[in-house]
A and B are shown apart, each in its own frame.
Chain A
């Protein structure tokens, strides 16, 4: 198995979770992961100054952006859920005994896309601000201000919901 190949299989669940953070639909997430793996295997890794995970996240994200752009150009309906539909972030998938967790999942689903993916990359995947900036192709200052906004918004939303529930 190639070097990329041996690193790729263990990373699949995390790639799929990032894909869900981007598109929120399970089938589309599977397609994005498959496409990212295909691209990664076809092209030798160019940038060695970011982690393998960051490199793969960037390939997956670029694939998603390309797909949105192509669909827009062709005038096709974008087969992602409407903003009112939380898709994979529907709290109903969480057992009722864990109500707050369900509300947290939904609050994450309601965040703007760019804030949601940043929360995942830094707070969950533990990418450095710099690696996250590489994945998103953004200045590090933008990453930090956007991430701080996302964390504050999530804490406020869940805090309010929790207050109402208790």
Chain B
């Protein structure tokens, strides 16, 4: 039953056309499935949280970038690192900024394992973004505030 609910949330977040319907829970295993399912696109996975001021500042820029490059095959995937009780606040922020789906929220019983599964070198510091090429290979990590010019150049190179 719980699996069914999780699957429904997962699908609703992944398929909703305009904005995320809800934040789908994302654990270590499903993170890799999500990245793999986006093969064929250049993907930026952006980890953020409502309490992270630089994350909130950079999100509108990432949305603009996604909007400009979507037709060329770029996709933005957001993962909130908020606590479950802050999911509604996270959702409200994504709606306000117009972040497109899919949008997820970290859901793990072992934070260390989750962070290591995403990137062994990542300490878990936010914001953090990871860029994947069309084959699903991680090509660049951005820990801390992203340099938008560098990011856009990297994305365009991969598209």
Are A and B a genuine interacting pair, yes or no? Answer: no
B interface vs A, CB < 8 Å? none
A interface vs B, CB < 8 Å? none
